[in-house]
Amino acid sequence: MNNPHNLGAMEKKTISAQEIVSKFNTPYQTVNYYTAIGLLPVAGKIGNKRIYEEAVIKERLQKISELAREGYPLNLIRKKLLGL
C-alpha cells in the first residue's frame, strides 16, 4: 500500500522502490538500473529506502515503455528523456 511521505513543504504522493515493483509490474533490478542511469529520479530517502514521486515514476515508465515499443534502444531513450 502506498504511504504518502512528507518530503518538504509541499506534500506529494511518494512511492518506494518495492512499491514500484508491485504497482507497475517492474522488476526490482530494472528499478535499480533505471535509477542508477538517471531515468528514475529519487525524490529523497527515508533511512536507507529510496523514495520516488509516484506521478513522475508513472510518467517516466510509460514513456520508456512507449519509446521501447517504437524500437528505441535504452541509451537513446535516456538521452531523449534527460535532454542529453
pLDDT of residue 10: 54
pLDDT tens for each residue of 7-66: 444 568 999 999 999 999 999 999 999 999 999 999 999 999 999 999 999 999 999 999
Global pTM? 0.80
Checking if the pLDDT of 2 tops 80, the result is no
For residue 12, give the 3-state DSSP assignment. Answer: strand
CATH number at residue 26: 1.10.1660.10
Residue 36 in domain: yes
Residue 37 in domain: yes
For residue 9, give the 3-state DSSP assignment. Answer: coil
Residue whose entry in the numeric block shows the C-alpha cell 526490482: 28
Number of domains in the chain: 1
pLDDT of residue 1: 44
Task: Domain of residue 28: give its range.
Answer: 14-82
pLDDT tens for each residue of 3-23: 544 444 456 899 999 999 999
Residue 68 in domain: yes
Residue 60 in domain: yes
Q: Are 81 and 63 in contact (CB under 8 A)?
A: yes
